[in-house]
Amino acid sequence: MDYFLIWLSVSYSVILYSPLIAAQQFEYRYHICTDNSTYTVNSSFPSNLNATLSSLYENASRSDGFGSISVGKNSDRVFALFLCRGDDSPESCRRCIKTAREEIKIRCPNYKEAIIWYDRCMLRYSNRSIFSVTEESPKAWLWNMNDIGNAIDQNQFNSNLVGLMNQLITRAASSSNFFAMGDTNGTAYNRIYGTVQCTPDISPSECRKCLSGRVSDIPSCCSGKVGGNVLTPSCSIRFETYPFYTAPPAPLPPASSPSPPTPPPTSLNPSGERKASSRTVLYISVPTSAFAVLFFSICYYCYVHKKAKKENSAMKGGN
Ligand SMILES: *[C@@H]1O[C@H](CO)[C@@H](O)[C@H](O)[C@H]1NC(C)=O
Ligand SMILES: *[C@@H]1O[C@H](CO)[C@@H](O)[C@H](O)[C@H]1NC(C)=O
Ligand SMILES: *[C@@H]1O[C@H](CO)[C@@H](O)[C@H](O)[C@H]1NC(C)=O
Ligand SMILES: *[C@@H]1O[C@H](CO)[C@@H](O)[C@H](O)[C@H]1NC(C)=O
Ligand SMILES: *[C@@H]1O[C@H](CO)[C@@H](O)[C@H](O)[C@H]1NC(C)=O
Ligand SMILES: *[C@@H]1O[C@H](CO)[C@@H](O)[C@H](O)[C@H]1NC(C)=O
């Protein structure tokens, strides 16, 4: 695991010496604009939406990483919420929400309902109340392009992964912010790092149920991969074989909590079925550090499969 530390310290230097790169530290994951939900521009929905997203942004650094607000009346009422990753600093959270707020307008213009995910935050809004409701759809699956490989024991990896996830679920559901992170032995050759998180406006039992559902998505989503990310509006999980979150004992650096900078990855909807209620995703992330390239392949995530099995599971996961 030494090389992970090297990678982090190299990336950290990059941030120190290159503020421009640090400014784009939020990795885009995916977004969904709800079908058939466009508003008319002469309604008061767009200005309510503007006001809602502005308030969310204003309050992002004051909150505990979660905020919800509603603006407007009747059919033009807007409900919106955001969630930042549990290990994120208020300042970083605020910057992520700023990015998300701008991007969601661009990616879902004139939509009454949309959601966008980054590695460190999620933002969603709708014309219906989305507060305190558990929603496990739509769902996005992303996976690390790198295979676990035949050289190591995949069964051991998988059972340790599930063990870690179940531990994290228990911890998250009994925590105040519904977030947990931790690591465990993967195999003799690697460790597994994981995070699980729910929006804190649902109940602990709903959080537990939502997260357990995401863990049961792993075999379909990310089987044989060294990393995976399953996203739904109410909960999400992620695992990698490198420490992608802020390690708890390490005090935060004074400026903020930098993460390894990467250019924005691209995403595709491989099936071309834009109306499907759940998606599988191409996700590419290119490390900027030359050292990282030595240790990781150039692309982290990508859409790999053409397997009907996965498509079927994806469809079953929707709705
Ligand atoms: C969306 O609208 C199109 C045409 O207006 C319609 O064919 C389709 O069934 C609608 N989809 C949903 C989910 O309502
Ligand atoms: C939200 O907008 C959609 C699409 O215009 C509409 O069908 C639905 O009834 C609206 N929901 C509420 C609660 O106003
Ligand atoms: C918006 O404009 C359309 C036609 O352009 C009109 O039919 C509709 O009544 C208008 N809505 C409002 C709220 O003014
Ligand atoms: C929303 O805010 C942006 C600037 O932040 C502005 O350009 C746009 O006109 C506003 N839209 C509405 C409907 O208020
Ligand atoms: C944001 O802060 C303002 C004033 O501090 C408060 O009135 C408002 O309710 C807050 N909104 C949210 C979404 O927390
Ligand atoms: C993790 O692996 C190390 C070295 O292989 C071993 O000593 C340790 O007992 C393992 N820990 C667990 C919890 O399996």
**Residue 316 falls inside a structural domain:** no
Q: Are residues 67 and 166 in the same domain?
A: no
Q: What is the pLDDT of residue 291?
A: 36
Please give the mean pLDDT across all residues of the chain: 76
Ligand 3 centroid to residue 42 C-alpha, Å:
6
Q: Whose CA is nearest to atom 1 of ligand 5?
A: 59
Q: Residue 37: its pLDDT value, please?
A: 87
Last residue of a domain, one of 246, 272, 297: 246
Is the model's pLDDT at 143 over the cut of 80?
A: yes
> Which of 185, 193, 241 gets mutated to test ligand 6 (max ligand atoms within 8 A of its CB)?
185
Percent of residues, the chain, with pLDDT higher than 90: 60
Nearest ligand (C-alpha, residue 35): 1
Sequential DSSP letters for 142-156: EEBSSB--TTS-HHH
Q: Does 110 contact ligand 4 (Cβ within 6 A)?
A: no
| Ligand 4 within 6 A of CB of 47 | yes
Which of 201, 225, 246 is the last residue before a domain boundary?
246
pLDDT tens profile 167-219: 999 999 999 999 999 999 988 888 999 999 999 999 999 999 999 999 999 99
Largest CA distance in the chain: 62
Mark whether 167 and 55 lie in a shared domain. Answer: no
Which atom from ligand 5 is nearest to the alpha carbon of 68?
Answer: 13
Read off the amino acid at residue 188.
A
CA-CA-CA-CA torsion for 88, 287, 150, 313, nearest 10 degrees? 60
Residues 7, 78, single domain; the answer is yes
* pLDDT confidence of residue 25: 67
What total of structural domains would you count in the chain? 2
Ligand 3-lining residues (CB < 6 angstroms): 40, 42-43
- In a domain, residue 104? The reply is yes
Is the pLDDT at 257 greater than 80? The verdict is no
pLDDT for res 164: 98
Q: Does 280 reside within a domain?
A: no
Whether residues 116 and 1 share a domain: the answer is yes
List the CATH number of the domain containing 165. Answer: 3.30.430.20
pLDDT of residue 249: 55
Which amino acid, one-letter code, is at 113? E
308 versus 93: the higher-pLDDT residue is 93
- Strand bridging mode 140-143 / 121-126: unpaired
**Same domain? 112 vs 210:** no
Residues 5 and 117 in one domain: yes
Residue 299 predicted with pLDDT over 50:
no
Is the residue at 28 inside a domain? yes
In this structure, is residue 2 part of a structural domain?
yes
In a domain, 6, yes or no: yes
* 8 and 93 share one domain: yes
- pLDDT at residue 248, rounded to an integer: 62
Contact call for residues 122 and 49 (beta carbons, < 8 A): no
Q: What is the DSSP string of 10-72?
A: HHHHHHHH-HHHHHT-PPEEEEEEPTT-BPPTTSSHHHHHHHHHHHHHHHHTTSSSEEEEEES
User: Is there a single domain that holds both residue 36 and residue 63?
Assistant: yes
E strands of the chain, at which residues? 28-33, 66-71, 78-84, 114-118, 121-126, 140-143, 179-187, 190-198, 228-231, 235-240, 279-280
Q: What is the pLDDT of residue 294?
A: 32
- Give me the domain span that covers residue 86: 1-131
Residues 104, 112: Cα–Cα separation, whole Å: 11
Higher pLDDT, 294 or 225: 225
Question: Can you say how many angstroms the Cα of residue 43 is from the centroid of all Cα atoms in its chain?
Answer: 32
Answer whether 59 contacts ligand 5 (Cβ < 6 A).
yes
Examine the domain organization and report whether 1 and 63 are in the same domain: yes
Residues contacting ligand 6 via CB (< 6 Å)? 185, 188
**4 with 95, same domain?**
yes
CA–CA distance, 135 with 154 (Å, rounded to integer): 31
Find all residues with CB under 8 Å of 84, minimum gap 6, and list them: 60, 65, 66, 92, 93, 96, 97, 120, 121
From the CB of 80, is ligand 5 less than 6 Å away?
Answer: no
127 with 164, same domain: the answer is no
36 in any annotated domain: yes
Express each pLDDT in 28-58 by its tens digit. Answer: 999 999 988 899 988 999 999 999 999 999 9
